[in-house]
Amino acid sequence: MRTITNDYRDAKIMDLGSASEKGPYLVTQTGVAPHEPASRTRMFVLRPDGQWADFNAYACQDKPEAIDELIFPTINDVLAIFNTLRGRPRVLDLPIDKDGLKAWLERHKDGNQVQAAHTWAIGYRARRREKRTK
């Protein structure tokens, strides 16, 4: 597997919206982190601060709000961050709770993670609306 890059062409931009509503967006890339001695393939997510992180570090937390940190509200936000990325990707080394990850994988064992992402996005939009009204 190849090393991840900061090139938008190597990333997958997922529109988590519905047929009637665009966004939010999640940016992922599968590969090996730069300087990873074990060459372990993982799914990385691009954070709005321009750093990449292992998706499992967020999934294992069992809190929808944790994944909210990874979201780009608009496609223009995604494009803007890619325009700032230069050189090797910066990858955060975040802890992964093995029991939490095991529980998350068990909940999604049917393999329909796209549907799980869309369900999560509905909650994300509701949390954003709630924040705006406070």
> CA–CA separation, 101 vs 116, rounded Å?
15
Please list the pLDDT of the chain residue by residue as tens digits (134 residues). 799 999 999 999 988 877 788 888 999 999 999 988 777 888 899 999 999 999 889 888 878 788 888 899 999 999 999 999 999 999 999 999 999 888 877 877 776 556 666 666 667 777 777 776 76
Assign 3-class secondary structure to 26-82.
Answer: EEEEEEECCCCCCCCCEEEEECCCCCEEECHHHHCCCCHHHHHCCCECCHHHHHHHH
> CA–CA separation, 47 vs 52, rounded Å?
6
Q: What is the pTM of this model?
A: 0.82
